[in-house]
């Protein structure tokens, strides 16, 4: 044990619970260190002087008042510590309560306020009436997809845009006299071009 530990134990003998080993080490240090031994003697003399009734002869307060003052100071220290604890946790508690209140307000507000609840409307009568309306197919120009006109659309309006080229071959006008119909095939790999002509007997000639 060093001098610092020994003096700390000497200055607060009643506030600590010494084990048998600590007490033995303190006594051994006091036998070896003259400075700590002198300080221990002065400390014990001061404690004995405080216990003597003559100490309170010239005081402005009695022993009972002194006891009350000491108890009030001890109680005030504990209250201050609890106040610090409360000041530290009071903001956190307020935040938690605020979050809970906001969550409860949103939960009950969504359930009880009509304009916050999405509405899904289903009208079977409208769906049946729409399905019962006829659709009119108008003929279109050759080579284009027929335009479908809904009876609900205004005059001239079409559901599908007219005039799109048809992916299927259309019945074109007959060629003029003297011309021979033909088909042309071009290879995408080699670029080879092959032309077939159709004679009067509808036979292909390369």
Q: Where are the domains of the chain?
A: 1-51, 58-117, 133-165+178-205
What pLDDT is attached to residue 9?
77
> In the predicted model, what is the mean pLDDT of the chain?
65
Q: In what order do the strands lie in the sheet with 182-186?
A: 182-186, 193-198, 204-205
Q: What is the reported pLDDT for 105?
A: 79
pLDDT at 53: 56
In angstroms, rounded to a whole number, what is the distance separating the alpha carbons of residues 58 and 204? 144
CA-CA distance, 103 to 81, in Å (whole number)? Answer: 34
Sign of CA dihedral 138, 141, 142, 145: negative
How big is the chain, counted in residues? 206
pTM of the model: 0.26
């Amino acid at each position: 044990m060093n001098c610092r530990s020994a003096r700390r134990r000497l200055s607060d003998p009643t506030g600590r619970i010494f084990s048998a080993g600590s007490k033995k080490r303190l006594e051994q240090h006091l036998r070896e260190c003259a400075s700590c031994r002198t300080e221990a003697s002065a400390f014990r003399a001061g404690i004995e002087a405080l216990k003597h009734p003559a100490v309170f002869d010239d005081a402005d307060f009695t022993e009972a008042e002194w006891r009350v003052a000491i108890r009030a100071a001890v109680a005030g220290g504990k209250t201050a510590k609890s106040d610090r604890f409360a000041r530290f946790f009071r903001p956190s508690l307020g935040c938690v309560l605020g979050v809970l209140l906001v969550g409860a307000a949103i939960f009950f507000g969504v359930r009880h306020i009509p304009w916050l609840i999405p509405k899904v409307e289903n009208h079977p009568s409208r769906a049946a009436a729409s399905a019962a309306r006829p659709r009119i197919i108008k003929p279109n120009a050759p080579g284009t997809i027929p335009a479908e006109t809904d009876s609900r659309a205004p005059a001239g309006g079409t559901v599908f845009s007219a005039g799109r080229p048809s992916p299927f071959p259309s019945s074109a006008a007959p060629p003029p006299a003297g011309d021979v119909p033909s088909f042309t095939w071009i290879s995408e790999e080699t670029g080879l071009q092959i032309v077939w002509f159709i004679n009067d007997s509808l036979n292909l000639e390369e």
